[in-house]
Amino acid sequence: MGHSLSVRNLEAWYGSNKTLKGINMEIAPNQVTAIIGPSGCGKSTFVRCINRMHETLPGTKVKGEILLDEESIYDRDPVALRKMVGMVFQKANPFPSMSIYENVVAGLRLNGMKNKQTLHASAEKSLRMAALWDEVKDRLNYSGMSLSGGQQQRLCIARALAVEPSVLLMDEPASALDPIATTHIEELIRQLKENYTILIVTHNMQQAARIADSTAFFLNGELVEHGPTSEIFTNPNDKRTEDYITGRFG
Amino acid sequence: MSKKTKLTASIGDQTLRLLTLLMAISVLVLMFWMGWQMFQSAGPSIDKFGFGFITGRVWDPVKEQFGALPFIYGTLMTSLLALLIATPIGLGVAIFLNEMAVTKVRMVVAFLVEMLAAIPSVVYGLWGIFILAPWLRETIQPALAKWFGFLPLFQGTPLGFGMLAGGLILAIMILPTIAAISGEVMAAVPNEQREAALALGATKWEMIRIAVLPYAKSGILGGIMLGLGRALGETMAVTMLIGNRPDILPSLFAPAYSMAAVIANEFTEATYDLYLSALVEIGLILFGITLILNVFARLLVWSVARGPKGGIS
Amino acid sequence: MNDRLRKYRNTMMMGIFIVATLIALIPLFGVLGYVVINGISALDLDFFMNLPKAMGVSGGGMANAIVGTLIMVLIASLIGMPVGILAAIYLTEYDRTSWLSIAVRFATDVLTGIPSIIVGIVIYTAVVLRMGHFSALAGGLALSIIMIPLIIRSTEEMLKLVSQSIREAGYALGISKRIIILRIILPTAAKGIITGAMLAVARVSGETAPLLFTALGNQYWARSLNEPIAALPVQIYQYATSPYAEWHQLAWAGSLVLILMVVILNLIARFAFRSRSN
């Protein structure tokens, strides 16, 4: 089951550049929340704060609070936290030295899981959830790099799912894919929300409208507006949101 | 509110970090330790001869007299000769590889030039003794003496072994260094520069002269300095070809001695401490010179590789 | 300026560069040709199986020198590769920008640039003098000092080529940094690291100067790592500078073996590993 997230007054810096200026946001469990906004608005930084990936870059700083299921993520070990909060990146990044199978179970195996049956079961389950099983079940030992771009991205989703997180962060997961692969991924996201809390960053507003239950609009490091997707797209409260979704800037 | 920005890490993580840190530091320590070790061992000689060690012309272990000038002279002469020969050829190779050759030719020739650098020094020495030196003695030196004999550089008995042979073998050995580093900095010249020159109607040579060489200038200079560094410290081939006589003679035909060669030849025969110490001091001087050369050379190469292109590290 | 003159000058300069390249390759083929011609006649099974004969007696081999070189290169690799690879991991994975890593990179450059005979001097004064005798250990140690900076440089380069997104993927799965480095990044860069290691092995197996007063050389088999030991390059040097034609013959044959080793290592490194990793 997905967990809820509660973000309180989150500020983040990259070098001397303040990329998040006090974000307050409640993210409901088992929903798809889309983050939209022009490039450089801080939406990527925002999701990267949630699994504490932002801090891994040199020269970065974070202030504020994020609660995952009522508990501060800063009280958790970042490595353990990331098992609960999975992430899928903009560009598919399978491990080049590993096969398809090894990629899927990498999170489990490299964290010490040795039981082969468990690993096999998890690999099949995750690949099925990622709607990739039928396409790769006969060549699990091939390199992950041998797959097409869309398949690689679904492999990365399967890899994230195998760890059994409760929250899934997706940073523009379909932006490097062709339309058909994008449809696949969107279909997948709709199915996954039954079990996961999903946060998806996207620059594609149609995509947000298609898949998200709620949508948040970021601008210049601030959260301008957050509400049910239908409301944001048809009847935004803020003038800036309206300007953005009607294509007047960005 | 906790605002830990530091990552907490497990014991295993700390162990690997510490282990790698230790190894990284050990490299730093190794450099200082080597300098210190030599400085200490050279102590007696430094105390006894002071600055006179560098200017002294007499090297006579029997009388406990140690002056390193003949070795410095032999080292400098052979290295300069090597630079004089290897620089234009090495630059030519670099230009050919970077600006002229098609991919396949470039791959093959670049590999061959790398092989030139991979041949062990002692094999060059062997080849020098039995092929190069006789050829110099019988063909090249008589011809040089005939045409340029009025210059003191080309006078005296053609022996084969001597500064000419040492310089030539060094030229062969440092050529790949100069070619490789010059090629590297030429490759770092942005293509827009070349296209800008070509668009103005420049011929290929004019393009190289206007757009490539000026841009790569300091990097090429760095490559030449690295080549010089290699020549100064090269031991085996020079030891086998220079003639090993601590004289300071103007003729390139004359036998001489280099700093590295005297260490190689006499180190295990140094029967008393001061003798050994004097040899170590020669090594220390070599260490110092090559260190300084390397620092400047790297700075020059870096400045080009980073250069206006930025962001490349 | 006259266009024809410019074209003519262009053709001439291009010609000069081609000629320069050809000149540069003459010594390569000169050396390889003579080594093969002179070496191959003395290269028989005896050469690989037997000890050298006494001065002036024909026949005999360099078995002890070949084994000696292998032993010392092995010692050097056992020290140099772990130190070099771990230091390179520090420079790429833990700390790319601080003054310490800059200083370590600088030291690496310095160590790459100093003459190899200096390493011989240092090991002689620090190890040989203290232990009281020349030894295979001292020789291997000297070679390892030459190896370390080479390994650091090549490994660092290869680790830098591993995309940052691979590291992030590891983090995002909740894998600890140590495991990411050891099980994901190193395997990804493995081909390149092995290539660099092979080139470093090729380089140190031909080194003579640092062995002259550490391993010293030996006409017989060394019975332990604690006594003087023969090495192929040292033996070539001693035979080349001796007055005996039989030994000259052996020197050529030894050079052929040495060059074959170096060339084969280079070829494997370049074509078996490098091409695929690109």
Mind listing the pLDDT tens digit for each residue in C96-129? 888 999 999 999 999 998 999 999 999 999 999 9
| Measured CA distances, A193 to A28, A32, A131, B162 (Å) | 11, 6, 14, 83
Q: Does B112 touch chain C (CB under 8 A)?
A: yes
Chain A residues near residue C176 by CB distance under 8 angstroms: 79, 111
Cβ neighbours for C99, distance < 8 A, ≥ 6 positions apart: none
Q: Is A65 on the interface with B (CB under 8 A)?
A: yes
- Among the partner-chain residues B2, B7, B10, the one whose CB lies closest to the CB of A55 is B7
Cα dihedral A97→A101→A103→A106 (10° resolution): -110
Q: Name the band, by pLDDT with cuts 50, 70 and 90, for residue B306.
A: low
Phi-psi region of A2 (alpha: psi -120 to 50; beta: other; left: phi over 0): beta
- Considering only CB atoms, which chain A residues are within 8 Å of B5? 55, 60-62
Residues of B in contact with C122 (CB under 8 A): 34, 37-38
pLDDT for C19 beyond 70: yes
* Euclidean distance between CA atoms A247 and A237, whole angstroms: 16
Interface test with A, best of C98, C173, C277 (most A CBs within 10 A): C173
Asked if the Cβ–Cβ distance from A107 to C174 is below 8 Å, we say yes
Are A155 and A102 within 8 A, CB to CB?
no
- Could you say which residues from 7 to 26 on chain B have a Cβ atom under 8 Å away from some Cβ of chain A? 7-8, 10
Count up the domains in chain A and report the number: 1
pLDDT of residue C1: 57
Task: Give me the CATH number covering residue A88.
Answer: 3.40.50.300
Q: Any idea where the domains of chain B sit in the sequence?
A: 12-41, 68-306
* 3-class SS string, C107-163: HHHHHHHCCHHHHHHHHHHHHHHHHCCCCHHHHHHHHHHHHHHHHHHHHHHHHHHCC
CA distance B280 to B76: 19
How confident is the model at residue C274, as a pLDDT? 56
Q: Looking at residue C106, which CATH number applies to its domain?
A: 1.10.3720.10
Closest alpha carbon to B304 in B206, B210, B207, B186: B186
One-letter amino acid at C157 equals E
Only one residue has tokens 């996961």, namely: A196
In a domain, C178, yes or no: yes
Which domain, by its residues, includes C135? Answer: 63-277
pLDDT at C59: 72
User: Residue A12 in contact with residue A42, Cβ under 8 Å?
Assistant: yes
**pLDDT tens profile C42-91:** 888 778 888 877 776 677 778 899 999 999 999 999 999 999 999 999 99
Task: Tell me, yes or no, if C89 comes closer than 8 A to chain B by beta carbon.
Answer: yes
- Total tally of structural domains belonging to chain C: 1
Q: Does C86 touch chain A (CB under 8 A)?
A: no
Contacts of residue A77, Cβ cutoff 8 Å, sequence gap at least 6 = B8
CB contact under 8 A, B7 and A78: yes
Per residue in B14-32, pLDDT (tens digit) is 899 999 999 999 999 999 9
CA A216 – CA A62 distance, rounded (Å): 20
3-state secondary structure of A200: strand
B312 compared with C148, residue with greater pLDDT = C148
Per the domain annotation, does C115 fall within a domain?
yes
B154-180 per-position pLDDT tens digit: 888 888 999 999 999 999 999 999 999
| CB interface of C with B, residues 150-189, below 8 Å | 152, 176-178, 181-182
Q: Which pLDDT score, from 0 to 100, does residue A203 have?
A: 86
Give pLDDT, residue A180: 86
Distance of CA A168 to the CA centre of its chain: 5
- % pLDDT > 70, chain B: 94
Percent of chain C with pLDDT over 70: 96
Tell me the sheet residues that pair with A200. A34, A170
Position B312 confidence tier, pLDDT thresholds 50, 70, 90: very low
* A90-129 residues touching B, CB cutoff 8 A: none
Residues in C closer than 8 angstroms to B85, CB to CB, are none
Distance from CA of A249 to the nearest CA of B (A): 30
Q: Is B164 in contact with B151 (CB distance < 8 Å)?
A: no
Count residue pairs from A and C with Cβ separation < 8 A.
Answer: 73
Question: Does any domain span residue C69?
Answer: yes
Q: Is residue A9, in this structure, part of any structural domain at all?
A: yes
Q: Of A172-181, A224-233, B165-174, where does the model show the most confidence?
A: B165-174
Residue A39 burial class via C-beta count within 10 angstroms: exposed 0-12, middle 13-18, buried 19 and up = exposed
Residues of chain B numbered 232-271 and touching chain C (CB < 8 Å)? 232-236, 240, 260, 263-264, 267-268
Q: Does B8 contact C at CB distance below 8 Å?
A: no
Residues spanned by the domain of A213: 5-245
CATH number at B68-306: 1.10.3720.10
C179: in domain: yes
Minimum distance, in Å, between the CA of residue C263 and any CA atom of chain A? 28
Q: Looking at the predicted structure, is the pLDDT value of residue B264 above 50?
A: yes
C211 found inside a domain: yes
Helices (H), chain C: 3-40, 45-49, 63-89, 99-113, 116-123, 129-131, 136-161, 164-172, 177-179, 186-205, 209-212, 232-240, 245-267, 275-277
Residue B313 predicted with pLDDT over 60: no
Residue-wise pLDDT tens digits, A45-96: 999 999 998 888 888 899 999 999 888 999 888 888 999 999 999 999 999 9
CB-count burial class (<10 Å; 0-12, 13-18, 19+) for B103: exposed
pLDDT at residue B308, as a whole number: 46
Is A250 inside any structural domain? no
Q: Which structure tokens are listed for B105? A: 């030719």
- Residue C162 within a domain: yes
Is the ipTM above a cut-off of 0.85?
A: yes
- Give the separation between CA B249 and CA A76, rounded to whole angstroms: 77
Indicate the pTM of the whole model.
0.89
Percent of chain C with pLDDT over 90: 67
pLDDT given at position B157: 86
Mean pLDDT score across all residues of chain C? 90
Say what the pLDDT of residue C221 is.
86
Binary contact (C90, B28; C-beta < 8 A): no
Q: How much is the average pLDDT of B288-309?
A: 77
Residue C275 has pLDDT above 80, yes or no: no
Handedness of CA B62, B60, C217, C76 (dihedral sign): positive
Q: Which two tokens stand for residue A192?
A: 């996954």
Task: Of C49, C69, C75, give the one whose Cα is nearest residue C218.
Answer: C69
Domain contains C217: yes
Confidence of residue B7 (pLDDT cuts 50, 70, 90): very low
Dihedral Cα A188, A192, A196, A201, nearest 10 deg: 20
Mutate to test the interface with B, among A14, A20, A71, A74 (most CBs of B within 10 A): A74
pLDDT at position A102 is 94
Residue A21 β-bridge partners:
A11
Q: What is the pLDDT of residue B4?
A: 43
Q: Mind listing the pLDDT tens digit for each residue in A97-139?
A: 999 999 999 999 998 888 999 999 999 999 998 889 999 999 9
What tokens were used for A195?
Answer: 């079990």
pLDDT of res. B307: 52
Q: Searching chain A, which residue's CA lies closest to the CA of residue B13?
A: A79
